[in-house]
Amino acid sequence: MRQGSLDWRCAAVFAALLLAPAQGVRAQGGERPAAQATPSPAAMGEYRRKLEEYTSARRKYEAEADAYWSSVADKRRLRHAKHRNNQEIGPGDYVLTQPPVYSGPPKPIDPSAPIEEAPPRKYVPVVTDFLRAAAKEFNFVPQQPRSEIEYKRAYVKVASAAGLTRDQVVRIYAFESGGDGAYDVQAGLEQPKPGAQAISTALGYNQLLATNSVELMAEKGNQFIKSLSGKAAALPEEARAALQRKIALLKSMVAFCRSVPDSWSEHDRLANTPKGLAVHALNLDVDIGPLLQTQKLLDSAVFARSQGYGAVLSAAELEMMNLTGDGNGLDIIRMPSALRERVPTSNFFQPGGYERNPIAGRSKVVAKLIAATNAVMDQESKLQGAKELAALFPN
């Protein structure tokens, strides 16, 4: 059950916000908090006065925010109903004001509370972890490409056969991987810098999360097996036997991914287990990885067609579906150009997702969000990796 993910080109920013150590959190795990001098009655009185001011301002803001986001959700439901009934969508079907922003006093620090230490940053698994899990959990070693161009060639073959265009594939690759990313590029590790750390499990040309991999295997596993079986039938005996062994392992992974109900939350739970990390290693395999990376884009295109949208999606439009989810993305795509200049991006997010998405907030309106996406695609399509990918497409 596919939903919008945060493995967009700005995943690094989103994950940094999510994984940054929390400030002002009490020490955990039985550690003794640092000693704190007893505050004076005057200091405590000042603290209580500031706390009351903060609490009052925060309550007022939260009431405004709740009303705003409730209106966004109500209008979204009405728009979806209108789309189903082929009714015209107008300005009144959107919230045309920006979300309220808290501008009151900051929360004061309790002078009587112990000094607190930030918890350690959460570890994010990396490629070596995926490979180790694959070997241990399924006795699977991905067939990694001998060169980057070999993987690109396999990816283009799969994507072209699926009906994706050169423009879609190249510009999204440029946007997601930075224009020159390798097949094993991971969010946060795009540049080899000392001390660099992964910020999410987003992996490969289209930055699939481990949850994406589990979900795709659960929903499209039989399709992948059929594709590989057809490929095996045309191979010489030794190569065919090797691919058939890989297919047998793939079947066991598909069974694991289908061991829970088809929902994003259940697939996310599996993705964070050793077996789930092993499934994510499939992206590194030159036979299976291109199928996964392609399917992530293809699902959005298929959804748009199933909803009666027959035009070929631009790369930026596909990114809107990836960013906000297929339903909200299609809602954006169907919007008349004149409305895009007026409609706030907040109409297509849940409040938590909007707060974690600095690009949506900074863009303010849909037209600027799409323009910013296209600008990045334009720039990063000029890099060598994107040029190599484009050159592999048939003329």
Q: What is the pLDDT of residue 17?
A: 30
For the beta carbon of residue 217, count every other beta carbon within 10 angstroms. 28
Q: What is the pLDDT of residue 361?
A: 86
Q: Write down which residue in 70, 90, 119 finishes a domain.
A: 119
User: Is there a contact between 138 and 253 (Cβ–Cβ < 8 Å)?
Assistant: yes
Tell which residue, 83, 52, 14, has the closest CA to residue 333: 83
In this prediction, residue 14 has a pLDDT band, given cuts at 50, 70 and 90, of very low
Query: Which run of H or E residues covers position 267?
Result: helix 264-271
Residue 184: which domain range?
A: 122-307+384-391
Please give the average per-residue pLDDT across 7-32, as a whole number: 37
Tell which residue, 115, 297, 136, has the closest CA to residue 205: 297
Is residue 294 domain-resident? yes
DSSP bridge partners of 344: 365
What is the C-alpha separation between 255 and 275, in angstroms, rounded? 11
Residues 69 and 103 occupy one common structural domain: yes
The phi, psi pair for 203, rounded to 5°, reads: -140, 140
What is the C-alpha separation between 208 and 8, in angstroms, rounded? 9
Which long-range contacts (C-beta less than 8 Å, at least 24 apart) are formed by 83-86? 83/307, 83/331, 83/334
Residues 91 and 149 occupy one common structural domain: no
Tell me, what amino acid is at 37? A
Residues 278 and 203 occupy one common structural domain: yes
Residues 192 and 86 occupy one common structural domain: no
Please give the average per-residue pLDDT across 148-166, as a whole number: 97
Please give the average per-residue pLDDT across 219-244, as a whole number: 95
Q: What's the first-to-final CA gap in the chain, in angstroms?
A: 36
Name every residue whose Cβ is closer than 8 Å to that of residue 140 and which is 6 or more positions away in sequence: 134, 246, 249, 253, 278, 281
Reply yes or no on whether the pLDDT at 3 is more than 90: no
In total, how many domains does the chain have? 2
Q: pLDDT for 39-85, tens place per residue?
A: 899 999 999 999 999 999 999 999 999 999 999 999 999 999 998 89
Is residue 298 domain-resident? yes
Coil, helix or strand at residue 137? helix
Is residue 224 domain-resident? yes
Residues 133 and 274 occupy one common structural domain: yes
Residues 182 and 86 occupy one common structural domain: no
Reply yes or no on whether the pLDDT at 178 is more than 60: yes
Reply yes or no on whether the pLDDT at 35 is more than 60: no
User: Is there a contact between 374 and 381 (Cβ–Cβ < 8 Å)?
Assistant: no
Is residue 358 domain-resident? no
Q: pLDDT for 333-345, tens place per residue?
A: 999 888 999 999 9
Residues 147 and 250 occupy one common structural domain: yes
Helices (H), 162-288: 166-177, 210-233, 237-257, 264-271, 274-280
Q: What is the pLDDT of residue 293?
A: 97
Residues 163 and 299 occupy one common structural domain: yes
